[in-house]
Chains A and B, each alone.
Chain A
Amino acid sequence: MTDYPHSADYPSPQLRVEALEALLVERGLVDPEMLDGFISRYVNDVGPMNGAKVVAKAWVDPDYRKRLLESGTDAVKELGFGGPQGEHIVVVENTPTLHNVVVCTLCSCYPWPLLGLPPNWYKDPAYRSRVVREPRKLLGEMGLELADDVEIHVWDSSAENRYFVLPNRPEGTEDLSEEELALLVSRDAMVGVAAVKAG
Chain B
Amino acid sequence: MSLVEKLGTDSETSLPRSNGELVFEEPWESRAFGMAAALADLGIFDWSDFQQSLITSIAKCEPGQDGLPSYRYYERWFAALEALVVERGLISTAELDTLVTDFCKRPHGHDHDHADGHHH
Contacts and interface: CB of A to CB of B under 8 A. Distances in A.
B68 A30 contact: no
Chain B, interface size: which category?
35 or more
Majority secondary structure, A binding face: helix
A40 B118 CA distance: 38
A117 interface: yes
Categorize the interface residue count of chain A.
35 or more
Contacts of A108: 54, 73
> From DSSP, what is the main secondary structure of chain B's interface residues?
helix
B76 to A, nearest CB: 8
A143 interface: yes
Given A15-B111, A19-B100, A117 B25 contact: no
Interface stretch (A6-14, A73-81, A95-103, A164-172): A6-14
Interface of B: 3-4, 7-9, 11, 13, 15-17, 19, 21, 23-26, 28, 30-35, 37-42, 44, 47-48, 51-52, 54-55, 58-59, 61-62, 64, 68-76, 78-79, 81-82, 85, 90-91, 95-96, 99-100, 103-104, 111-113
